Amino acid sequence: MNDKETATHILHFLEEKPHDIFAWPTDGCGYDQHIKFVNYRNKYWTGCTEKGWIKFTKDYAEKLIKREL
């Protein structure tokens, strides 16, 4: 998937409930996109609530759309 397709997938993932406890927002996006998200998370995620995770993930998707990553 390209960045725009990945962003769309992430936003749809966040709207779907419930998720498996081990599900990643980039499941199904391909290895490269998943690793890109994991590296971003490792660099910027400081940990907080579920709402904070959702915002963090949405912000990541928006950066993909804006080509800021």
- The span from the CA of 1 to the CA of 20, in Å, is 22
**CA–CA separation, 1 vs 53, rounded Å?**
23
DSSP state of 49: -
Determine the Cα–Cα distance for residues 62 and 40; give it in Å rounded to an integer: 13
Q: How confident is the model at residue 49 (pLDDT cuts 50, 70, 90)?
A: confident
The pLDDT value given to residue 21: 79
- Could you give the number of structural domains in the chain? 1
Which residues span the domain enclosing 52? 3-65
Pick from 29, 21, 24: which is nearest to 5 by CA?
A: 29
Per-residue pLDDT reduced to its tens digit, 2-27: 999 999 999 999 998 888 878 999 99
The pTM of this model reads: 0.89
